[in-house]
Amino acid sequence: MVETQAVAMGGPKDNKKKYAVLFSKKAYAVPASDVLLLPQKSNPVASAEALGALLSTKAPDKWKPYCQHGFLALLQGHEGTAPYTTFEVPGFEDEWRILRPISKVVADRIFPKIHEKVLEDIKEKKIPKPTNDRQEARVDIYKWNSTENLKDKNQLSPEVNKWPEITAAEEALHSCSIAPQSQKRKKGDGTDKGAREDEETVKIRKVPKCEQVKVEVGPKGTYSIVEYEGIVHIINGAAMAEADAEEANNENDI
């Protein structure tokens, strides 16, 4: 596609590539005007399975090692600002290009403590003292909190902010991450044949196929719809945030 505006790029000077945000099964470039900070380096992850396992959790202690100084990005949109990070996986040369949003629950929990550590490292000269705006931004990003910077949404929406889509015709950009297989609920002592549908799916399938079901959702961009195996799955961002908060509260203090 022909870009009408400059977009965020990274990589070697002689082979720059677009950064991308994945949203609703699509990939979007990020306008340079909406970039407040790009990562200085990417987090190494051992495998596609390990990346998938990390992306499937919102546990602060799991994400903390991947939110250290120099590894974060900060983007802005109509909704506010949001922190991101990137990963690199052996054998998948383009994984580093995908900017991954850091959950509000995670950022609110771990950023203050990382900020303290960064300031301490600067004082002890383990990290160079910032001498320009970009270096200052790498330290100040840990002042970010959801109450002041992303109060009403769970993440930035590329669709709402009209970020340019990276189409399949232009470039096939996909993540290598492999999500963990969901655990199926089995009946009895395990001697029954085949895996059983989980309890949630069983409840859903009890709704008559001919019946109309109305579901209250928020504004466009706060929910997504996925169809699979004859079921329409509506993912509500607000409900996910509540679940993330509950999961975080169940984790040990960092």
Give the mean model confidence (pLDDT) for residues 5-15: 90
Greatest mean pLDDT among 11-20, 165-174, 214-223, 228-237 lies in 11-20
Greatest mean pLDDT among 11-20, 150-159, 236-245 lies in 150-159
Condensed to tens digits (0 to 9), the pLDDT of residues 68-114 reads 999 999 999 999 999 999 999 999 999 999 999 999 999 999 999 99
At residue 32, what are phi and psi to the nearest 5 degrees? Answer: -60, -30
This prediction's pTM: 0.72
Condensed to tens digits (0 to 9), the pLDDT of residues 154-170 reads 999 999 999 999 988 88
Local structure of 217: helix, strand or coil: coil
8 Å CB contact between 39 and 70: yes
Give the pLDDT confidence score for residue 100 in this predicted structure. 98
At residue 113, what are phi and psi to the nearest 5 degrees? Answer: -70, -35
Give the pLDDT confidence score for residue 31 in this predicted structure. 97
Give the mean model confidence (pLDDT) for residues 236-245: 59
Statement: residue 197 has pLDDT above 50: no
Give the pLDDT confidence score for residue 168 in this predicted structure. 82
Residue 95 φ/ψ region, left for φ over 0, alpha for ψ in the -120 to 50 degree band, beta for the rest: alpha
In one-letter notation, the amino acid at residue 205 is R
**How many other β-carbons are positioned within 10 Å of the β-carbon of residue 201?**
15
